[in-house]
């Protein structure tokens, strides 16, 4: 009987030892499930943060693009004004050249005693005015070149920004 008790006792010990072992896998499974859920949540949050980051970058780039486009429009307006002023100056220069070519006719109506001296003074005055206008025209041409250079740079920037905005927009759709 002693052997039987020892066997029963041994069996109970084995049973007792196996019960906690059976409980551990369920606790482990619950812990693994919780860990898997946490990892899934972290992955989802990470993906959301990435989407928000791309969205924010796309917005920043879009604002930069809009700013560059407005700047380009202002430069184009300035360029148009310079063209108008340049055309006006050219017209004034043409009018002065016409006056120079017809100075004798202009002076015929004048009652100056010394016609040669009056003609020379008129020619000098017209040439001076013409020189001033030509100088203004040169300055406008320099401004036009500078603005064209700035516009070329802006257009390249606008093209790059447009490409980047489109790339981020496509990434946001993914």
pLDDT tens for 88-142 read 999 999 999 999 988 877 777 666 667 788 888 889 999 999 999 999 999 999 9
Q: Which domain holds residue 112?
A: 53-174
Number of structural domains (the chain) is 1
- Residue 22, in any domain of the structure: no
Q: Please identify which residue in the block is written with the tokens 């000098």.
A: 124
* Prediction pTM value: 0.66
- Residue 10, in any domain of the structure: no
Please return the burial class of 61, using the count of CB atoms within 10 Å of its CB with bins 0-12, 13-18 and 19+.
Answer: buried
CB-side exposure of 163: number of CA atoms within 13 Å? 5
What's residue 171's pLDDT?
Answer: 78
Q: How confident is the model at residue 168 (pLDDT cuts 50, 70, 90)?
A: confident
- Residue 11, in any domain of the structure: no
Query: Where is pLDDT greater, at 58 or 156?
Result: 156
Q: How confident is the model at residue 22 (pLDDT cuts 50, 70, 90)?
A: very low
- Residue 9, in any domain of the structure: no
């Amino acid at each position: 009987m002693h052997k039987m008790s020892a066997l029963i006792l041994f069996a109970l010990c084995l049973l007792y030892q196996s019960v906690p072992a059976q409980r551990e896998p369920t606790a482990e499974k619950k812990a693994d499930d919780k860990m898997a859920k946490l990892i899934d949540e972290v992955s989802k949050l990470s993906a959301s943060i990435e989407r928000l980051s791309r969205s924010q970058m796309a917005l920043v780039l879009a604002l930069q693009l809009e700013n560059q486009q407005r700047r380009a429009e202002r430069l184009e307006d300035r360029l148009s004004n310079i063209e108008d002023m340049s055309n006006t100056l050219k017209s004034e220069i043409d009018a002065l050249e016409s006056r120079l070519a017809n100075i004798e006719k202009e002076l015929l109506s004048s009652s100056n005693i010394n016609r040669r001296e009056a003609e020379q003074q008129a020619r000098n005055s017209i040439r001076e005015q013409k020189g001033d206008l030509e100088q203004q025209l040169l300055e406008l041409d320099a401004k036009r070149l500078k603005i064209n250079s700035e516009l070329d740079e802006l257009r390249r920037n606008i093209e790059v920004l447009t490409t980047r905005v489109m790339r981020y927009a496509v990434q946001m759709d993914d």
